[in-house]
Amino acid sequence: MAQKLPPVDAVLVGFGWTAAILGQELTDAGLNVVALERGGWRDTSTDFGVTFAQDELRYYWRRALFQEPSRETLTFRNDASQTALPMRRLGSFLPGTGVGGAGIHWNGQTWRFLPSDFLARTHNTQRYGALPEDMTIQDWGVTYDELEPCYDRFEYLCGIGGKAGNLGGRLVEGGNPFEGARSRDYPNPPMEMVYGPLRFAEAAQKLGLHPFPAPSANMSRAYTNPLGVTLAPCTYCGFCEKFGCGNYSKASPQTTVIPVLMRKDNFEVRTGSEVLRVTLDGSGKRATGVVYVDTQGNEYEQPADLVVLCAYQLHNVRLMLLSGIGKPYDPATGEGVVGKNYAYQIVSGVAAFFDEEIMNPFVGAGALGMAIDDFNGDNFDHGGLGFIGGGYLACWNTGGRPIEFHPTPEGTPRWGAKWKQAMVKNYMHTATVSTHGAVMSHRGNHLDLDPTYRDVYGRPLMRMTFDYTANEHRMSDHLTARAAEIARAMNPREIKISKHGGSYSIVPYQTTHNTGGTIMGSDPTTSVVNRYLQSWDVPNLFVMGAGAFPQNPGYNPTGTVGALTYWAADAIRNQYLKSPGPLVQA
């Protein structure tokens, strides 16, 4: 029997980016707020007080910042004909755990989605005609213009460095000419570029493309955000991706919001608190709070007037299913919504090997690079190509970390003396053109509860059913061919193409960009939450994060996750708190 605690105004499940922002917003509105985080307290540069910020073995290979599959995992299959098996070692994606979540170990690549991305079904149908029957993409229920002020708030919170390409409808040279109109420029200038990205930009420009500095949450200079929190300039150490920043130079919940939030009397975070389910009243139409368990196995019920799911996308979907909120999605009939439209990203790369040019790969940062958007979204004519969607191409210098980075040309043995010789020859002389492609939602790709495997608390594990379709393969082939053209225009000695050729594998790392499952929209029969991320079924429940994406555009998701959080926070503060209940769909 769970011990019942005194009620609070709002309970936040998880304490990463979305919970930190909402905690700040809701406490500013006068609410008493509790955040429940299953992991421990973390600083960005320390792990329980011991500094190992650049320990590659500890943090990447031994997974010190990530979810532990022995405590929390999922089962996976490519399609319904297969038996899903547990993911026993993290691979394709790396959910974080502890205060800050994946916001500690992200790269800092902070994008805005294209205006057409929010109208994916309407836009593509109008331009290209009927879509494949099993492609289940949807409009978001919110537009880019509505979200623009929220994107702006997140970028100024994080001190994003970049170069605007579209200021109020006026194109600006040197920025991204394809982006939606901005109300103002980035708060910081772009990072100082190194040789590889500059060589990429020069080659892209010669091909008639439009290179620009990628937007970065790695500080290009010292910056104090609107909350009064100061971040230091980046030292280009190359330990961003999969690491906490030892210099407080990467935007994270800890370096932007938490220092202010933790000083408030009306906020509390409880670490080591695993939420088991959302509790409902007798009608099933109102959340009464949550039940959680601490590290000693003690169960508690935390009553709250407002419940907000702020955990990682996969965990939010699972909590909805475990709590019986919303109708589970059935791919056989197409009915139901919870777990629908799971999507991911599809990536590839072209390595360019040089003889004389020195790339200094160890001089890096998570979002240090030049990019092009010429082949993203609907920025190019898809007529006759057999696919919709696209992605950006970029040359990143994220850091040539000694264990992970081992570039070798085609035909090099996988081990032994010749492999070592190739490593020595090519480490300093390699640049990679990467593609980052969208994934359109399809009927068979979904999330549900596994009928066989259970966790330590007896709850069914999440089951993921996912594979790339012909649309993704054709699109990725197109992007990879364009990347190869740019790589060849960089005049290397030789190139090496790496791309997906078959079914999706959950084993090798790709991106931590899982989306869908609690999708947003304007129709309760086809979405889990409305345009304000409010549950259609339980109006005092809101669900944050990339689970709201009806499909996954060709960008990293964090910028849009942050924007949607501010969008939902504004609706909660200015509409819901004044008149609790279903929000008016403006």
Angstrom distance (rounded) from CA 205 to CA 219: 26
pLDDT mean for each 10 residues of the chain (586 residues): 96 98 98 97 65 80 90 96 97 94 95 98 96 97 98 98 97 97 98 98 98 98 98 95 92 97 98 98 97 97 98 98 98 97 98 96 97 98 96 97 93 96 96 98 98 96 98 98 98 95 94 98 98 98 98 98 98 97 86
Angstrom distance (rounded) from CA 474 to CA 472: 6
Quote the pLDDT of residue 312.
97
Q: Looking at 105, 210, 436, 513, which residue is catalytic?
A: 513
Return the closest-CA partner of residue 55 out of 237, 327, 259, 181: 237
542, amino acid identity: F
Quote the pLDDT of residue 47.
54
* Phi and psi angles of residue 319, each rounded to the nearest 5 degrees, phi first: -65, -40
- Looking only at the bridges linking them, the beta strands covering 274-280 and 230-231 are unpaired
Q: What is the DSSP letter of 251?
A: -
SS3 assignment, position 73: coil
Strand order in the sheet with 212-213: 212-213, 369-372, 391-396, 430-437, 346-353, 494-498
Structure tokens, 324: 């019986």
Q: Provide the whole-model pTM.
A: 0.97
CA distances from residue 212 to 153, 204, 242, 299, 375 in whole angstroms, order as listed: 22, 10, 25, 52, 14
Using a 10 angstrom Cβ sphere, with 0-12 exposed, 13-18 middle and 19 or more buried, the burial of residue 419 is middle
| Sheet strands (E) in 239-363 | 267-270, 274-280, 287-293, 299-309, 346-353
Q: Does domain 3-576 have CATH number 3.40.50.720?
A: no
Does the annotation count 382 as an active-site position?
no
Quickly count: other Cβ atoms within 10 Å of residue 124's Cβ.
21
Angstrom distance (rounded) from CA 209 to CA 433: 14
List, in order, residues 6 or more apart from 585 with CB less than 8 Å away.
141, 522, 530, 531
| Ramachandran sector of residue 200 (left: φ over 0; alpha: ψ -120 to 50; beta: rest) | alpha
Angstrom distance (rounded) from CA 16 to CA 103: 6
SS3 assignment, position 181: coil
CA distances from residue 341 to 62, 112, 134, 440, 475 in whole angstroms, order as listed: 32, 21, 11, 9, 19
Report how far apart the first and last C-alpha atoms of the chain are (Å, whole number): 43
Domain ranges of the chain: 3-576
